[in-house]
Structure 1
Amino acid sequence: MDFDLSSAQRDRCDRVRTAVAEHLATRAVTTDPDLVRLAWQAAASIGLTGLCLPVEHGGAGLGALDTALSLEAFGRACPDTGLAFGIAAHLLSCGVPVAEFGASGTAGELLAGMAKGGLIAGNAMTEDEAGSDIGQIRTTAVRSGGDYVLRGEKSFVSNAPIADVYVTYAITDPDAGFLGVSAFAVPRDTGGIVVGPPLSKMGLHGCLAARVRFDDCVVPERFRLGAEGSGGMVFQRSMAWERSCLFAIYLGLAERQLQACVEHATARRQFGRKLAGFQAVSHRIARMRQRLESARLLLYRACWLLDADRDDAGAIAMAKTAVSEAALANSLDAVQLFGASGYLVGPGIEQQLRDCVPATIFSGTTEIQLEILAREAGL
């Protein structure tokens, strides 16, 4: 085993951190759609919107591990974790399915814009009664000649208010269960798409989200991803990439957070000595580091397996669980270490906590990941 990154990987990460620090780090977190789009344009200018998209369509063509490394560098340098999350969802939940399952002409039409950031993608899978269980969705797609008529509502669509295309899932054969679901990439200018107002969220404010309703939305067959009935497989593939690579942004956040805690503990004095001199403080920081490094190894391994075409659901589930729970636990520790200042809006610590809370929920809750691991153990 070789745990060293190559010089090319280290150089790429350095370039991403430097560019993000220059173009994005000073931008205030905002929910203004126009300002969020400007942030996307800045991210696109340094190649972040096309990391894993095909080179022939303007992307960088990176594999899972290199994509994760770039997203980690993004999360390390950018305090707007919501923006990083939105771009990662655009790439992994939407870009990967379009690139791997889209018809050649359709994929080229969409991917060129997605790679350049001119087209923003939203992941429209979750419904009120269906999250990770794709077999329980209620949105339907009924064939009508060379088109499909979509009817249904998605309850939480990342990037929805500013999205130009939605990757969505609908039932095409009600009697086929998992094999009766199909995937589509639906341009926003398709008639019959109704986007609700931005949802108020606890964190990840830089990623706007909303409900999306399909009211007799007529979608040409060429926008179907994969064969009819293969939507479950398309969704599983997108989740493999998302659960592996997206959570790298939380590694970056945790690295930035850990550095801030070390600096605070060595600078602040109480009872005549530095906070770092108290074992209760130093050991808390040591545990934060252990969580971070353990989670990082699991995530890198999951991405390495994905690049080797060994789509290991257990490895991915362990990585997703480890990173999300480490991010949340470390953020709680950071608030405790900073005390009152960590609780106040402004220094960024409380914002990090709010951004980390949903990490154990989206892309399949921790409980879902544990179910995957339990099944693999024969339980």
Structure 2
Amino acid sequence: MFIKTDKQAELLKKLEPVLLKIADRSQELEDSRDFPFENIEDLVRIGYSTWTLPVHEGGKGLGLYDFLLCQEKIAEACGPTALSIGWHSGIVLQLQENRNWEAAILHETFQQIKKGALINRAATEPATGSPTRGGVPSTQARKVHDSWVISGRKTFTSMAPMLDLFLVNAWITEENRMGWFLINRSQPGVTIEKTWDVISMQGTSSEDLLLEEVIVEDKYLVEEPKGMDKKGEGWLLHIPACYLGIASAARNFAIKFANEYTPNSIKAPIATLPNVQRLIGEMELELMQSRHFLYSVAGNWQNEIDLRHQLTPHLAAAKHSVTNSAIRIVDKAMRIVGAQSLQRTNPLSTYYRNVRAGLHNPPMDDATIHMLAQWSNLKK
């Protein structure tokens, strides 16, 4: 019921063959703990990495709602693949909406993406933690003649093995301000250090980005935020969409198991048991609530452009609510399947570990609740 247009149905249909292959590779990826190169390559091959580009730049001009529908389905097949490509496609959507770069540089970047280049922001650092907390980056940029020389280390650089372009924030000490620089992977001084060793979302390969005296032309200082003010960013809803997709996969697995598993202590599948039916019903309720909340907010963002300044609390609340619901859905699925769900070869054990990562994607729960309290007071 959330597919509203023929265009959306066509996009999801185009994804189907690729998603079948991605799902088939999911256990292999889990065992290897490697980056899903083939999955991303398949998505790039069908043009998915260009779908959020403007139409006049060779894309499909997807809005937020359309983008999230696709992201949820990709996440059903593979969470790390969805989160990885989601950062790229979401940033392209952000650039499409904001258009706050110099026009020639934006066009140049869009054309690189049209040809298959992948992009992500690199903002998190060991000393500052999440960039949403307002810390000043330790990465330094200094002006030398007509260029910038940038040095620093960034962490959590998702999709690092395949990224071509990095949007890096750095502190311009001489001017006491921050700037965002567009850096090409091929530039001297740019290296990736393999540091990603976690139990959740291992496949995103969110390695460290090292910048050692990287020389960047002045025109690639692409964003100069005024102060540290924050505004709503609808594209970040790709995060809860990813975890909702994981939860949906867990729900599907649990229901299939419940309809097929018949222990010799009863004469029918466990799906007939009242306690199992209760858990299934609770999962359905959580999924309904989450989808209605997520796609309602996304629809408002996509269609009511004049209201976007009012939607920042709704974006954060949707991320908080949907992500926590996803965790509860996976928990209920595991209760249905029982101890088998803890086996490493059981998909539920993967969903369980991966869905927990959502708690640590911005905005975090405490920041969201604090913001909502402030927003409520301001409304009075």
The 2-side partners of 1:229 and 1:31 are apart by 37
Shift of 1:376: 0.8
1:246 aligns with 2:245: no
* Secondary structure of the structure 2 residue equivalent to 1:378: helix
The 1-side partners of 2:86 and 2:326 are apart by 17
1:192 aligns with 189
CA contact under 8 A between 1:172 and 1:229: conserved in structure 2? no
What amino acid maps onto 1:37 in structure 2? F
* TM-score normalised to structure 1 length: 0.87
Q: In the TM superposition, what whole-angstrom CA distance separates every residue of 1:15-48 from its partner, at most 9, and x where no partner exists?
A: 32x2333442322325445xx3332221112232
**Sequence identity (%):** 20
* Secondary structure of the structure 2 residue equivalent to 1:136: coil
What amino acid maps onto 2:172 in structure 1? T
The 2-side partners of 1:108 and 1:322 are apart by 37
Q: In the TM superposition, what whole-angstrom CA distance separates every residue of 1:281-337 from its partner, at most 9, and x where no partner exists?
A: 211121111111111111112212221223311110111011111111111222222
What amino acid maps onto 1:210 in structure 2? E
* Secondary structure of the structure 2 residue equivalent to 1:143: strand
How do residues 242-281 of structure 1 correspond to structure 2 at under 5 angstroms? 242=236, 244-270=237-263, 271-272=265-266, 273-281=268-276
The 2-side partners of 1:127 and 1:20 are apart by 34
The 1-side partners of 2:49 and 2:366 are apart by 30
Shift of 1:55: 2.2
1:367 aligns with 2:361: no
The 2-side partners of 1:47 and 1:371 are apart by 40
Q: In the TM superposition, what whole-angstrom CA distance separates every residue of 1:242-272 from its partner, at most 9, and x where no partner exists?
A: 1x23322323322232222122122222431
1:377 aligns with 376
The 1-side partners of 2:246 and 2:83 are apart by 11
The 1-side partners of 2:337 and 2:66 are apart by 34
CA contact under 8 A between 2:243 and 2:326: conserved in structure 1? yes
Q: Give structure 1 stretches of 5+ with no counterpart.
A: none
The 2-side partners of 1:95 and 1:222 are apart by 22
2:55 aligns with 55
The 1-side partners of 2:369 and 2:145 are apart by 43
CA contact under 8 A between 2:64 and 2:234: conserved in structure 1? no
What amino acid maps onto 1:338 in structure 2? V
Shift of 1:146: 2.4
How do residues 81-160 of structure 1 correspond to structure 2 at under 5 angstroms? 81-93=79-91, 96-97=94-95, 100-116=99-115, 118-128=116-126, 129-131=128-130, 132-160=132-160
CA contact under 8 A between 1:267 and 1:274: conserved in structure 2? yes
* TM-score normalised to structure 2 length: 0.87
The 1-side partners of 2:138 and 2:298 are apart by 32
What amino acid maps onto 1:209 in structure 2? S
1:305 aligns with 300
* Secondary structure of the structure 2 residue equivalent to 1:339: helix
Shift of 1:173: 5.5
Q: In the TM superposition, what whole-angstrom CA distance separates every residue of 1:162-185 from its partner, at most 9, and x where no partner exists?
A: 321111111235775xxx222122
The 2-side partners of 1:168 and 1:51 are apart by 23
Moved over 6 A (4+): none
2:199 aligns with 202
Q: 1:135 to 1:248 in 2, by over 3 A?
A: same
Shift of 1:339: 1.4
* Secondary structure of the structure 2 residue equivalent to 1:183: strand
CA contact under 8 A between 2:142 and 2:174: conserved in structure 1? no
The 2-side partners of 1:20 and 1:212 are apart by 30
Q: Give structure 2 stretches of 5+ with no counterpart.
A: none
1:26 aligns with 24
1:292 aligns with 287
* Secondary structure of the structure 2 residue equivalent to 1:219: strand
CA contact under 8 A between 2:54 and 2:96: conserved in structure 1? no
2:343 aligns with 344
CA contact under 8 A between 2:147 and 2:215: conserved in structure 1? yes
CA contact under 8 A between 1:123 and 1:157: conserved in structure 2? yes
